[in-house]
Amino acid sequence: GRLRKELGIIPPGDLRNCLTALADREPLMERLMQYRFQGDSPLAGHCFGNLFIAAMAQAEGGMEAGLNATSQILKVRGRVIPSTLEDIRLQARMTDGSIVTGESEIPKVRKHIKKMMMLPADAQAANGAIDAILNADVLIFGPGSLYTSVIPNLLVEGIRDAVVRSKAIKIYICNVMTQPGETDGYGAYDHVQALIDHVGTQFLDYAIVNSQDVTSEQLRQYDAEGSRPITPDIDKIRSLGITVVPARLISKDDLVRHDPRKLARVLIALIYRLRLFGRGMQFFDYFFMRAGMKKLYKQK
């Protein structure tokens, strides 16, 4: 948060990670963007990529212009657009009525979150973000921390309104494990319902949920912190009018997380069929599992 306080800019860390993930870069550039200065100098602790983004923002006259320039240098495939250019802070109202301020502080109290808020409450959405949402073919939400990563974007009124108004297909990718301090005891249905509650209306078309079992060896790593696999809750989500896409999505690594290739295949297959058949695919689940895509569900 040092650059945020000293320069009055929005947090560059998440922007850096998005830019680096989408960049067509050499390994050296990736290491450089993620490099964090060591030692006791005034630069100690700073990440070079954050400094680079901050410098570009000042040189180009604003964060949006700075991100565009950084994208050109890194040869980013796509665009990285912040939801808002204002310096906001997250707040969570807990079920016991207490309010906790600060993204990193919210999970620490280990209470159940009732509602997310932001300061200032009337932060304006970035124009580029609204335009991108309204002109999108598909909007994908998640995976990521439900209350401190996914929902905060929807707290910005202009973003929330644009999402509801957008004619794009709206897909939510549910996490595979609960996050201690945020989603303890949650199933996929609870994740979806939290999104709907914060938007104020049911806006999702599809929910992609993991149907693959987690091994006991993998679970042992999460016992101490209390993180558990998220149940798919297929029927409960369908009762909301959302089409559920269950798939085997967990990676072969020791950590329980999405396998990016498996998830990409499911997304591409879904979008491809939407292009072929449109939204009115009442037979989607059957078609997806039986007509040529069954192997996706069987992948290890």
**In contact, 211 and 247? CB cutoff 8 Å:** yes
Rounded to whole angstroms, how far apart are CA atoms 257 and 190?
19
Q: Give me the helix-helix angle, 63-74 and 12-22, nearest 10°.
A: 30
Q: Which SS3 state, helix, strand or coil, does residue 172 take? A: strand
Q: What is the pLDDT of residue 97?
A: 96
Tokens at residue 66, please? 């700075």
User: Token pair 């830019």 is at which residue?
Assistant: 19
**In contact, 188 and 242? CB cutoff 8 Å:** no
**In contact, 115 and 84? CB cutoff 8 Å:** no
Residue 291 has pLDDT above 90, yes or no: no
**Lowest-confidence segment of 127-136, 247-256, 286-295 by average pLDDT:** 286-295
Rounded to whole angstroms, how far apart are CA atoms 15 and 260?
20
Rounded to whole angstroms, how far apart are CA atoms 23 and 148?
25
Rounded to whole angstroms, how far apart are CA atoms 119 and 90?
6
| DSSP β-ladder status, 113-119 and 89-94 | antiparallel
For the segment 162-185, what is each residue's pLDDT rounded down to a tens digit? 999 999 999 999 999 999 999 999
Q: What is the pLDDT of residue 10?
A: 86
| Mean pLDDT of the 152-156 span | 96
Q: What is the pLDDT of residue 87?
A: 86
For the segment 77-131, what is each residue's pLDDT rounded down to a tens digit? 899 999 999 989 999 999 999 999 999 899 999 999 999 999 999 999 999 999 9
**In contact, 209 and 232? CB cutoff 8 Å:** yes
pLDDT band (50, 70, 90) for residue 293: very low
Higher-confidence residue: 93 or 284?
A: 93
What are the strands, taking DSSP E only, across 126-212?
Answer: 138-141, 169-173, 206-210
Look up the pTM and report it. 0.87
| Mean pLDDT of the 179-200 span | 97
Q: What is the pLDDT of residue 279?
A: 62
| DSSP β-ladder status, 113-119 and 206-210 | unpaired
Residue 144 has pLDDT above 50, yes or no: yes
pLDDT more than 90, % of the chain: 67
Tokens at residue 276, please? 């072929």
Tokens at residue 259, please? 């396998």
Residue 52 has pLDDT above 70, yes or no: yes
Query: What average pLDDT does the structure give for the chain?
Result: 89
Domains, in order of start, for the chain: 2-74 (no CATH), 125-298 (3.40.50.10680)
The total number of residues shown for the chain amounts to 300
Point out which residues pair with 229 in neighbouring strands: 177
